[in-house]
Every structure is written in structure tokens, then in C-alpha cells.
Amino acid sequence: MVAAVSTSSGYVREFDTTNPNAPIPLAWVKDRTVQIQLSLGNNQVMLQDGFTSFNDSAADALNTWNPYLAHLHYSWIKNSPVTPAQGDDEMSAFFDTKVFGMNFGTDALAVTLLNYRNGNMEETDTVFNKAVSWDSYRGPLTPPVFDFHRVAIHEFGHVLGLDHPDQATPKQNVVAIMNSRTGDLDTVAQDDIDGVTAIYGTGPAYNSIPNGPVLMNLSTRGTTNTGDNVLIGGFAIQGSQPAQFIIRAIAFSLSASGIADALADSAIELYDVNRNLVASDDDWFVSNDAPTIASYHLDPPNSIEAALIVTLNPGNYTAIVKSFSSSTQPATTGVALFELYDLRTSKSRAINVSTRGQVGTGNDIMIGGFVIGGSTGKRVVIRAIGPSLSQSNVPNPLSDPYLELRDSSGNLVEANDDWQQSPEATTIIADQLAPASPKESAMAPILAPGGYTALVSGARGTTGTALVEIYDESP
């Protein structure tokens, strides 16, 4: 957007012009949640419209579009820890004096860069010109102090796939915030609404997962390295009917939660008990299943994270979470999150998950998560396996695992070092889940419905390869 006043505008689409002979109108995957990393300053300021930061003004600008997005949704993270960068597949908004090293155009107030693939939006970055005098206000434009809020609404319209109507061929003359030149209009107009309705007014119906007395979802966070030291998640499906799951490999979007060494680009492979490849994914947003995954509100925040929706027969399965690699892109290492969501489309269900990964120190421990559904308590057996992995020729097994169970508020529920010291040791033995080594950890609490986290670390700072396991013991 540039600084000037114009009364002529109207909506047009942004296009993927990779093939100029067959341009494709740009849009996000339907039903996706587009998460914007707001990095517009941490200092509190008093703006004319009452906002106390430009992050707050930007969040309100994003939310201005939401009522008109039937099959898309804006979310945001204020004061994001993600450092804005091109090619990270994060959507960032920030102030700078240049646009990733390039000069702003004459009179340019802000620039939005679009990255796309085959007409699918992949990444956007919105850069607001730091050299401009900014405030946030309503009503007539009062240069030389410019209204950040209306400029942000305009730029976030580009993120949605709208272009400048007054620069279209033929030129359109309808009042709209998407005009290339900012003026007295300070919010979206009907033509802008018509534009996003044309793009996102239709799409797959949103879905939800029925609640029930089962493990609603299972996850493990850990470090995935290269070679054999990747993150390996195993799970078992019990029942007589096929069951449907969404399986995700979350990676770089963990940076928004303060994980400094998140894996840059994840890939996932799913194998059956006979080691046959069942399904695989690299970049979820270009999958044919992407709209269905998004319809469950389970779309990964980052476009190049991996996700699958699969229908599986009862049995045992293994998911390998690793770095994407190719002849031009070597594998990297970092923290990733393996997630298994039971969509509960049949009476069959996932009864356990076990994940093998690397246990370090500090934040680099292995973390298993699960959610108990329904309205009554459920007994769950949780194990942290280390020394006995040597029997399977696993290199560098964790010599002395330590296990903590915490609730969704972070409160300690139970802790265990050596499983035989657990108050539920008799139950663990009766369930035939006693670990092979006395140095391994286990517990068998009865837990109320809700979310829980199992943290596996090394006693006295030890490190190595470990296995965290979660078993549903109340069918």
C-alpha cells in the first residue's frame, strides 16, 4: 500500500503466475486456520484508538476479516518468538526499514510477500515500513501520521488473496479497503466482503470428534536426528472394524511456543506390522486430503509440516517422524511432535502409543501427551523404557529413566524413578506391563477426564534413547 488519497477501488484476485499462460487464482486450503506471527514491538504505547500496542491493533485488523470468512479463520500470536524470515513457511507481520534486504517502493507504507504452490497459499510475510510515522486511529487519514490499523486491514486482505482493484484491467471503481492507495476509508467495505466471500464462502463442512471414554488423542514431543535416531511412534488399534485417524508431524511451528531448536521441515511415514508403507506425507497443504484435515481443525500451522488422514484395520502400526531430505536438501535435526487423533468413526480405537526418541537435558527431554475423554475416570499405564532397549540393539539407551505425570495445569500427579517402587507396581505386574529392567519407570494411575503430560528425563542428568509408552487399561 502507498500513501495517497483515492476514491476508486474494487475487488480482484491475486494469481499464481508461475505459468503466465494459465494463471491460477490464489487461495488458502479451505477451512484452514491461518496463524499470523505478530512481531510489532513489545513496548506498551498508547495509541489514539485505545490500543496499547501495534500487536493489539494488528490482531484487531485480522479479526476484522474473520466474520466474513466462512471457510477460513485468522488466528495470531502476539509478541511472537518466531524471528521473521523468508522461506520458513510462517506467516509473519513486523516493522522493518527494508523488505528482507530490499528497499520499499516510493511512498510505500507496507508490503505483503506471497509464497504459493499451484495456486495454494503457502507462506506470507507482511512488512510495515519502519520509516513511517504510525499511530492507530479511525476517521479521516491525517498524514504525515498514518493509521496502522487500516493499512493492516488492507495488507491482511492481500494475505487472503485479494489484489488492488483500482489497478486491475479493466480498472474497477468500487469503494474498498483494498484500493492501492490509502484514504479515509478505515475498514472493509461491501466490495471487500464480496471478494473474500467469493473465495471462502464455500468449502467442506466443519467436523468435530465425538467425545467418549477413550484416549482421544496421543502425542509425543522429542528430538529427531538423522539415520536411525529419528522419532518413532508406534500404536495399536483394538476392535473388529476399521478406524480413522489423523496423524501429524509438527515441527517448525513449535518455534511459536518458544522451542528454539524446532525441526525445520518434517516428513512422516506410516508402516503396518509387516513393515509395508501404508501412507506418507511431506507438505500437508498440497495433499488431496488437506481440506478434510483442516475441517477437523487439525491443520498444522506451518505449510511444510506433515499430516495424514488414514483408515486403518485393527493391528499394530509405526509412524516415523523425520526431517525432509532430498538430493538438494540434506536432513536436519530438531524437536518434533508426533500426534495421533482418533476420529472415532467406528467402535475400534487406539489403545496405546509408544514413541522412541532421544532424551537430552533441560528442554530436550521426551514428552508424551494424551487426553482422556468421557465423564468417568480411566486407568492408564505409563512407562519410560531405557536400559532394556539394548536387548533390541538400540544404541545408547537411556540408563536410568525418570517419569513425571502432570495434569493440564502443570500440577504433578505422580512421579517414578524405579518402577518397583511405584504404589501401583502390583497393578502393573497384573496387567503384564512390568518393565524388564528395575531401573525403568512405570505408573498406573486412575485419571479423571482431561489432558495429561508424561515427561521422560534421565535421572541425575543422564541422556540417551528412550521409549515413552501410554496404555489404555480400561476398554
pLDDT digit string (tens) for 82-127?
999 999 999 999 999 999 999 999 999 999 999 999 999 999 999 9
High-pLDDT (> 70) share of the chain, %: 97
**What pLDDT, on a 0 to 100 scale, did the predictor assign at position 170?**
86
CATH superfamily, domain 2-200, is: Collagenase (Catalytic Domain) (3.40.390.10)
**What pLDDT, on a 0 to 100 scale, did the predictor assign at position 363?**
84
Least confident of 4-13, 45-54, 219-228: 4-13
Residues of CATH 2.60.120.380 domain(s) within the chain? 215-472
The candidate with the shortest Cα–Cα distance to 465, out of 390, 408, 402, is 390
- Which are the contacts of 6, defined by CB distance < 8 A and separation ≥ 6? 166, 179, 180, 181, 183
- CATH number at 215-472: 2.60.120.380
Question: Which whole number is the average pLDDT over 269-279?
Answer: 98
Question: Which whole number is the average pLDDT over 183-189?
Answer: 97
Least confident of 18-22, 174-178, 283-287, 426-430: 18-22
Q: Identify the residue with better confidence: 148 or 11.
A: 148
Asked whether the predicted pLDDT for residue 229 surpasses 90, the reply is: no
Q: For residue 347, what pLDDT band results from cuts at 50, 70 and 90?
A: very high
Tens digit of each residue's pLDDT (9 = 90 or more) over 438-475? 999 999 999 999 999 999 999 999 999 999 999 999 86
Q: How far are the Cα atoms of 122, 165, 171, 262 from residue 161, in angstroms, in the given order?
A: 12, 12, 18, 29
Q: For residue 7, what pLDDT band results from cuts at 50, 70 and 90?
A: very low
Residues of CATH 3.40.390.10 domain(s) within the chain? 2-200
Q: Cell triple for residue 305? A: 509440516
High-pLDDT (> 90) share of the chain, %: 91
- At residue 331, what is the residue type? A
Q: For residue 169, what pLDDT band results from cuts at 50, 70 and 90?
A: confident
**What pLDDT, on a 0 to 100 scale, did the predictor assign at position 475?**
64
Asked whether the predicted pLDDT for residue 321 surpasses 80, the reply is: yes
**What pLDDT, on a 0 to 100 scale, did the predictor assign at position 43?**
86
**What pLDDT, on a 0 to 100 scale, did the predictor assign at position 12?**
82
Asked whether the predicted pLDDT for residue 301 surpasses 70, the reply is: yes
**Helix, strand, coil share (%) of the chain residues, nearest 5:** 15, 40, 45
Instruction: Round the average pLDDT of the chain to a whole number and report it.
Output: 94
Least confident of 149-163, 222-236, 267-281, 452-466: 222-236
Cis ω on the peptide bond leading into residue 314 (within 30° of 0)? no
- Furthest CA-CA distance within the chain: 79
Q: Are strands 266-272 and 378-385 parallel, antiparallel or unpaired?
A: unpaired
How far is it, in rounded angstroms, from Cα 424 to Cα 415?
A: 12
Tens digit of each residue's pLDDT (9 = 90 or more) over 378-393? 999 999 999 999 999 9
Question: Which whole number is the average pLDDT over 417-445?
Answer: 97
Rounded-to-10 torsion of CA 228, 366, 39, 324 = 20
**What pLDDT, on a 0 to 100 scale, did the predictor assign at position 1?**
61
CB 179, CB 164: distance < 8 Å: yes
Beta bridge partners of 245: 310, 342
The candidate with the shortest Cα–Cα distance to 12, out of 211, 223, 172, 214, is 172
pTM for the whole structure: 0.93
What is the 3-state secondary structure of 145-161? Answer: EEEHHHHHHHHHHHHHC
Q: Cell triple for residue 268? A: 512422516
